Structure 1
């Protein structure tokens, strides 16, 4: 056994069906009684439901969360926090809403209860990404780690299939990068393989039967497992590229992860042959990069940066941004090779 360091993260996790109805009890356990509910505009009905369940413990809703956590939106939300004298932040939704909750916590130290409705996994991490002046930056701090995560399988059944697939691919990316992370350890690696296997098993079933309870449960467990991996160890080239493309070119988050993942895996394959064999086994395929591409393509997910809004003329700038600051990756970061990676991803070439 190789030496390793593992830091467990202090979060309370409630997993099951109809767990949303425990929200008031969880607020009480935190010793709070003035919860502000966050969501995107599209999920305002879900936010209202949570607010109603809280009853007198709710101070209202803020439905302005958007992708990539722009500082301007955070500032608007902070004004509402001050006006309502909220003592707890409650987020229902995906990465956009959870990102806003984290940004508020970063600025106020208020506790968070998060209720994920997608498979992005950010709820399980002490990581926040924020966008200012067209640049997305990330930082790791326990100040933004949610105190409570409520996973309710029933809430994910209405998640549209296209979002389900890209969100699940986003989660798989966390686990794969955790397996070849310089901080890898046996516990997280085991969890990563379980997460990949659960999501790969769930995706085809949900694609054909979106209301399948067992598949939705597998997918939500996989999301938690992969998110825990993201929170426990460092990420590499895949996440760096996705943050660059999302923050600087406003590409959609989960779709960007879906497109980039097979190409990032192919980039690192020669330096991580043992890891890629484990990924392929978890996916049930012979080649990890090709298996990931096929998993997306066969279930209606985008496979090219072109189809999600990127311009070919932006590739060179993306390479420049991604290579601007040194970071660890199992294979050295080489601008020419990264340009080739992004070109393949732009045109949707199968690895």
Structure 2
């Protein structure tokens, strides 16, 4: 701390171990200033736009019991409730049903993995006819993305596909403007995907391709994280989806479109995830470990409010759409390989990620650490082990060339053969 007086009087400083030091002349003042050193922070992008989400997070044991009050606070009187088939059979969903007793709400068919454009348009028509005024999503990213997509179709009209982002290699990206107000979403996550707070939406179309949309207005207005209710979710599912959260952090650090705030969230979340993933695997009944993982995933989701995903998520989207593999499992396998591909082009941000994990070997030490984390978290490490057929690798690589994530990647992908090489290494 320093107390600066008039330039004509003494300047008193308390700097480090020196207490009450009085500097009376210019030479001594110069020496004192030179004694101060601070590392230069990461450089700022030449120009960026930073949005702030209007989301409210409530974390704590038993917070699902406050659902009725939270809905009222968000102005939701007749919500549409969305969840996957497995979630609907869980204690987590039972807690939600109990909290909804006495309230009017609209039931829906179970949401399949990766959802579908047909289901989204069907639910939008149902919600309009029933005069639903908001959504409650329970479970993972597919339920969250479906609610977001339904909100977009209700406001912007059918078909969903005309609102999707379009990428043409090597560098042309078209993002349709989605300007109309959207109904509010209240999310109760049951995985570590973090999808509920992002502006991104991913839904499969009839051909199996992943439609990607972007609209900040569909981020959840309220998020309830209940670590006790989460204890019923298998630790294996929390860990694979937690690898997705880890990928949000890493890609957010080197995305071509990012703001400085993305890095602040990413580095904090990385350290929490590195602790929480093995902890949840070793102690699946540990409420505190679940809380750490849920919160870290939430922070990782916020990274994508301030950045865009890159090559890694592009490949994972296509792996899911072609093979039907859960998104978390695809993330678990592909992350070290995609980081290795980008290691030279994104050396500085990856070195900062490594440092956040206590590593001093730069990007390559991070790649090795991700391999070790796969083992510690008990997640799959090879595409063959999660049901991806070798004959599909060419198709995945070809489809990957049309994914918007390539636009934001720090290293330009020059052809499908590069993607094929990454997939082969992961197979």
Length-normalised TM-score, structure 1: 0.93
Counterpart secondary structure, 1:57: coil
Query: In structure 2, what is the equivalent of residue 106 of structure 1?
Result: 152
Change (3 A) 1:164 1:31: closer
1:2 equivalent among 25, 41, 44: 44
Residue 61 of structure 1 and its aligned partner are, at CA, apart by: 2.6
Query: In structure 2, what is the equivalent of residue 246 of structure 1?
Result: 320
Pair 1:204-2:278 in alignment? yes
Change (3 A) 1:94 1:50: same
Query: In structure 1, what is the equivalent of residue 104 of structure 2?
Result: 58
Q: Is the 8 A contact 1:105 1:144 kept in 2?
A: yes
CA distance in 1, matches of 2:289, 2:97: 29
Query: In structure 2, what is the equivalent of residue 194 of structure 1?
Result: 268
* Counterpart mapping for 1:135-174 below 5 A: 135-174=209-248
Pair 1:120-2:193 in alignment? yes
Query: In structure 2, what is the equivalent of residue 18 of structure 1?
Result: 62
Pair 1:87-2:133 in alignment? yes
Residue 135 of structure 1 and its aligned partner are, at CA, apart by: 0.6
Change (3 A) 1:280 1:322: same
Q: Deviations over 1:27-77 (max 9, x none)?
A: 111223212221112222444532331223232432411111211222343
Query: In structure 2, what is the equivalent of residue 338 of structure 1?
Result: 419
Query: In structure 2, what is the equivalent of residue 264 of structure 1?
Result: 338
Aligned length: 346
The unaligned stretches of length 5 or more in structure 1 are 347-351
Pair 1:319-2:397 in alignment? yes
CA distance in 2, matches of 1:337, 1:22: 50
Query: In structure 2, what is the equivalent of residue 307 of structure 1?
Result: 385
Query: In structure 2, what is the equivalent of residue 49 of structure 1?
Result: 95
CA distance in 1, matches of 2:109, 2:95: 13
The unaligned stretches of length 5 or more in structure 2 are 1-42, 155-181
Query: In structure 1, what is the equivalent of residue 10 of structure 2?
Result: none
Counterpart secondary structure, 1:231: coil
Query: In structure 2, what is the equivalent of residue 71 of structure 1?
Result: 117
Counterpart secondary structure, 1:65: coil
Residue 173 of structure 1 and its aligned partner are, at CA, apart by: 0.2
Residue 144 of structure 1 and its aligned partner are, at CA, apart by: 2.1
Change (3 A) 1:328 1:78: closer
Residue 249 of structure 1 and its aligned partner are, at CA, apart by: 2.7
Q: Is the 8 A contact 1:104 1:110 kept in 2?
A: no
CA distance in 1, matches of 2:147, 2:64: 18
Query: In structure 1, what is the equivalent of residue 9 of structure 2?
Result: none
CA distance in 2, matches of 1:290, 1:165: 18
Residue 215 of structure 1 and its aligned partner are, at CA, apart by: 1.5
Q: Deviations over 1:136-170 (max 9, x none)?
A: 02111124222211111222222212111101111
RMSD between superposed Cα atoms in Å: 1.8
Residue 246 of structure 1 and its aligned partner are, at CA, apart by: 1.1
Residue 324 of structure 1 and its aligned partner are, at CA, apart by: 3.7
Higher helix proportion: 1
CA distance in 2, matches of 1:71, 1:158: 30
CA distance in 2, matches of 1:76, 1:48: 25
CA distance in 1, matches of 2:63, 2:241: 21
The answer to which of 84-93 and 263-272 deviates more is 84-93
Counterpart secondary structure, 1:13: strand
Length-normalised TM-score, structure 2: 0.77
Q: Which has the larger radius of gyration?
A: 2
Q: Is the 8 A contact 2:51 2:305 kept in 1?
A: no
Query: In structure 2, what is the equivalent of residue 181 of structure 1?
Result: 255
